[in-house]
Amino acid sequence: MIISVASGKGGTGKTLVATSLAISLKDKNKVQFLDCDVEEPNAHLLLNPTITGSVPVNVKVPVVDKGKCTFCGKCAEVCAYKAIAVLGERVLTFHELCHSCGACSYLCPEKAIYEVDRAIGTLEFGNAGGIDFIHGKLNIGEAMATPVIRKVQERVDNQNIVIIDVPPGTSCPVVESIKDTDFCLLVTEPTPFGLNDLMLAVETVRILQLPCGVIINRAGLGDESIEKYCLSENIPVLLHIPLDSTIARFYSRGFTLAEAMPEWKDKFVAVFNKIEEIVSERTCCTER
Amino acid sequence: MKELVVLSGKGGTGKTSLVGSFAALAKDEVLADCDVDAADLNLILKPSSSQSHDFWSGQVAFIDESKCTQCDLCQELCRFDAIHDYKVDNISCEGCGFCSHICPAEAITMKENLAGRWFISETKYGPLVHAKLGAAQENSGKLVAMVRQQAKIVAEQKGFELIISDGPPGIGCPVISSLSGANLALLVTEPTLSGVHDLERILAVCQHFGVPAAVCINKYDINEENTQRIENFCLKSNSPGQKVDLVSKLPFDNVVTEAMVHGLPVIEYNKNGFSQQIIYLWERTLQLLNKNKE
């Protein structure tokens, strides 16, 4: 079972929910935790894993062998990202624009282009009190998060319960993080921004045809519009976490809800059971 | 022309609420909402009218079934795993066009992709340029560049000298696109461990791209120990070439959410002490912006 925790809007409590869910489930299950928010990974601050290893995340970029190049311009012609240019008897490569598609090296008539690794981030893994922990970190100044997210996703072991912490937004990094998951848990807050961004997130989740459910964080903060929206869209509201300065203060010091207030563990287990129910019902339906 | 961009690294620290108030305080400015994934500034500024434009960006591959000989070459060579059963998965396709170049049957063509929409809107606080990236689309960085470019055009047309951009969370593609070439980045943070960690990364990005940064600690009273850490961090990050100014510490105040629920900038919703502090923050930010210009 793979559950992604996403939100559209940033700062609604994704990491708080994802880490609390993992801690609540770990006593009776094998749990794997993947932090796919590689731009701003935070889950390690709450789970405090012992990092046992790390590997660089590399992408392939082209290098031109000047001895073989005839400056025919084919590489520049086929590059959709303008990452390679031929100016007279010079070939310029712009590695930060390259999407590593491999077209230039494959299509070069002289076989003058070969590919080398360029590091854009780091993958770290370890153990957090029994939880198998993996996160990715995008290097400062790098634009493309998705190759790092893909590397994190490669570590998914479906034998476990897998919890994925997703970056905010609705575009490619989010899609990459949630597309192969069984269920998307959307965390929102009852404010106009929370509602607007939840609606955008639901649009993305529906394009990917994923089942989803909502957790309302800071309940009591704003208005009732989230409940109304979820009711009209037939999206289950799985949990309310109240607006409570005690929770905010615990979070600020790096404590999950499940650790700071153990009575929440049962509630997160109940959320998981409900998700299992939704996913298995859906599997039955599609099989039929 | 001067451009202020408000960023945070971590989401939900209060960027948009502050920009809403800045919009009400600034004179002769253009607003740009660079969070094209989840634009919210229009919910506060409430545009009275809007011009909408298509944003065509990138391409997706299309396989003509009648020409396809099912040789499998495209499936083997695609690095994005976007072709299955001789069909292109539009969500995985990155539009590189490799398949269209190598298909021996010339069965693959590239089609232009409607990636979203952008808008120039009128609000009572000034013109607002904003956008909506299509759900599950790529190229958010290019749409951000379009929003900034259009904001500059509007400012030139109106003879305005100031652009205020509300930036996206994170440190990747759309953030770099929002930041590069701006005159000042105001970093809004909060005293949580996540806030501190993410501030360090976004500040490093500002320094990497040579954009001067100022810091505002929002909800500073949630954890005064972490607030102290942020203050020390700002001092430590100061270097002769790159000064990091701590411009304001704002307390937690529910008036921010109340104003949002009422669809108003905080300073228009309530004139209490909190709003006075936002006014002070705006004045300090403006001073830094003018100083950095010189």
| Residue B66 DSSP code | T
Looking at residue B39, its amino acid is A
In contact, B173 and A144? CB cutoff 8 Å: yes
Residues 241-280 of B with CB under 8 A from A: 252, 254, 257, 260-261, 263
Residue A138: per-residue pLDDT: 98
Residues 42-81 of B with CB under 8 A from A: 43, 58-59, 77, 79-80
Which of B171, B172, B222 is facing A248, going by the closest CB pair?
B222
Which of B37, B192, B194 is facing A171, going by the closest CB pair?
B37
Give whole-number Cα distances, B133 to A173, B34, B203, in Å.
13, 11, 26
What are B24's two structure tokens? 């009400």
Domain-wise residue ranges, chain A:
2-57+131-287, 66-111
Which of A42, A144, A249 is facing B173, going by the closest CB pair?
A144
Only one residue has tokens 């609540």, namely A24
Nearest of B189, B8, B11, B195 to residue A188 by alpha carbon: B11
Binned at pLDDT 50, 70 and 90, residue B241 comes out as low
Nearest of B198, B193, B174 to residue A40 by alpha carbon: B198
Strand partners, A161: A31
Which residues of chain A make contact with B252, given a CB cutoff of 8 A? 245
Overall fold of domain A2-57+131-287: Rossmann fold (3.40.50)
Distance of CA B84 to the CA centre of its chain: 34
- Annotate B117-174 with DSSP letters as a single string: EEEEEEETTEEEEEEEEPTT-S-HHHHHHHHHHHHHHHHHHHT--EEEEEPPSSSSHH
Only one residue has tokens 């590489």, namely A75
Looking at residue A251, its amino acid is Y
Overall fold of domain A66-111: Alpha-Beta Plaits (3.30.70)
Domain range B2-46+124-293, CATH class: alpha beta
Residue A49 CB-half CA count within 13 A:
25
Q: Which residue of B has its CA nearest to A221?
A: B257
Give the gap in angstroms from C-alpha B169 to the nearest C-alpha of chain A: 7
Give the gap in angstroms from C-alpha B129 to the nearest C-alpha of chain A: 18
Cα–Cα distance for residue pair B45/B232, rounded to 1 Å: 35
Residue B66 CB-half CA count within 13 A:
0
Q: Which CATH number is correct for B57-114, 3.40.190.10, 2.40.50.140, 3.30.70.20, 3.40.50.2300?
A: 3.30.70.20
Interface with A, mutate which of B15, B57, B98, B258 (most A CBs under 10 A): B98
What are A150's two structure tokens? 């893909």
Residues whose CB falls within 8 Å of the CB of residue B232, separated by 6 or more in sequence, listed in order? none
Interface with B, mutate which of A12, A15, A40, A144 (most B CBs under 10 A): A40
- Annotate B233-278 with DSSP letters as a single string: HHHHH--SS--EEEEEE----THHHHHHHTTS-HHHH--SHHHHHH
Cα–Cα distance for residue pair B12/A139, rounded to 1 Å: 22
Per-residue pLDDT tens listing for chain A (288 residues): 999 999 999 999 999 999 999 999 999 999 999 999 999 999 999 999 999 999 999 999 999 999 999 999 999 999 999 999 999 999 999 999 999 999 999 999 999 999 999 999 999 999 999 999 999 999 999 999 999 999 999 999 989 999 999 999 998 999 999 999 999 999 999 999 999 999 999 999 999 999 999 999 999 887 889 999 999 999 999 999 999 989 999 999 999 999 999 999 999 999 999 999 999 988 766 544
In contact, B266 and B21? CB cutoff 8 Å: yes
Residues 165-194 of B with CB under 8 A from A: 168-177, 190-194
In contact, B138 and A172? CB cutoff 8 Å: yes
Element (DSSP H or E) covering residue A251 = helix A245-252
What are A101's two structure tokens? 């598609």
Which residues of chain B make contact with A106, given a CB cutoff of 8 A? 77, 98, 102
% of chain B residues with pLDDT over 70:
98
Is B176–A141 a contact, with Cβ atoms under 8 angstroms apart? yes
Which of B59, B135, B204 is facing A140, going by the closest CB pair?
B204
Is B173–A251 a contact, with Cβ atoms under 8 angstroms apart? no
Q: What is the mean pLDDT of chain B?
A: 95
In contact, B129 and B166? CB cutoff 8 Å: no
Which residues of chain B make contact with A212, given a CB cutoff of 8 A? none
Taking 60 as the threshold, does the pLDDT of residue B23 lie above it? Answer: yes
Taking 60 as the threshold, does the pLDDT of residue B293 lie above it? Answer: no
Residues 22-41 of B with CB under 8 A from A: 37-38, 40
In contact, A36 and A43? CB cutoff 8 Å: no
Asked if B13 is an interface residue toward chain A (Cβ–Cβ < 8 A), one would say: yes
Residue A287: per-residue pLDDT: 47
Tens digit of pLDDT for each residue in B149-168?
A: 999 999 999 999 999 999 99
Lateral strand order in the sheet of B162-166: B49-63, B108-123, B126-133, B29-33, B162-166, B2-7, B184-189, B213-217, B244-249
Which of B133, B190, B194 is facing A170, going by the closest CB pair?
B133
Angle between helix B193-208 and B224-237 (nearest 10): 20
Interface with A, mutate which of B193, B196, B209, B229 (most A CBs under 10 A): B193
Is A99–B133 a contact, with Cβ atoms under 8 angstroms apart? no
Cα–Cα distance for residue pair A148/B260, rounded to 1 Å: 35
Q: Of how many residues is chain A composed?
A: 288
Grouping H, G, I as helix, E, B as strand and the rest as coil, residue A187 is strand
Which of A45, A208, A222 is facing B193, going by the closest CB pair?
A45
Q: A-B interface: how many C-beta pairs under 8 angstroms? A: 185
Which residues of chain B make contact with A166, given a CB cutoff of 8 A? none
Asked if B101 is an interface residue toward chain A (Cβ–Cβ < 8 A), one would say: yes
In contact, B34 and B152? CB cutoff 8 Å: no
Looking at residue A56, its amino acid is P
Give the gap in angstroms from C-alpha A190 to the nearest C-alpha of chain B: 9
In contact, B13 and B195? CB cutoff 8 Å: yes
Only one residue has tokens 């493309």, namely A144
Domain-wise residue ranges, chain B:
2-46+124-293, 57-114
Looking at residue B90, its amino acid is N
Q: Which residue of A has its CA nearest to B257?
A: A222
Only one residue has tokens 């701590």, namely B246
Grouping H, G, I as helix, E, B as strand and the rest as coil, residue A66 is coil
Asked if A192 is an interface residue toward chain B (Cβ–Cβ < 8 A), one would say: yes
Cα–Cα distance for residue pair B47/B226, rounded to 1 Å: 38
Nearest of B36, B72, B121 to residue A8 by alpha carbon: B36
Asked if B237 is an interface residue toward chain A (Cβ–Cβ < 8 A), one would say: no
Grouping H, G, I as helix, E, B as strand and the rest as coil, residue A276 is helix
What are phi and psi for residue A168, nearest 5 degrees?
A: -70, 170
Is A42–B10 a contact, with Cβ atoms under 8 angstroms apart? yes
Q: What is the mean pLDDT of residues B239-262?
A: 89
B239-278 in b/e form (b: 16+ CB < 10 A) is: eeeeebbbbbbbeebebbbbbbbeebbbbbbbeeebbebb
Which of B16, B101, B263 is facing A107, going by the closest CB pair?
B101
- Burial class from Cβ neighbours inside 10 Å (0-12, 13-18, 19+) for residue A208 reads middle
Distance of CA B228 to the CA centre of its chain: 28
Tens digit of pLDDT for each residue in B194-213?
A: 999 999 999 999 999 999 99
pTM, to two decimals:
0.95
Residue B239: per-residue pLDDT: 72
Residues 103-132 of B with CB under 8 A from A: none
Tens digit of pLDDT for each residue in A74-111?
A: 999 999 999 999 999 999 999 999 999 999 999 999 99
Q: What are A253-256's contacts with CB under 8 Å, separation 24+?
A: A253/B193, A253/B223, A253/B226, A254/A45, A254/A46, A254/A48, A254/B193, A255/A46, A256/A16, A256/A19, A256/A20, A256/A23, A256/A46, A256/A47
Interface with A, mutate which of B171, B228, B254 (most A CBs under 10 A): B171
Interface with A, mutate which of B18, B35, B40 (most A CBs under 10 A): B40
Asked if B212 is an interface residue toward chain A (Cβ–Cβ < 8 A), one would say: no
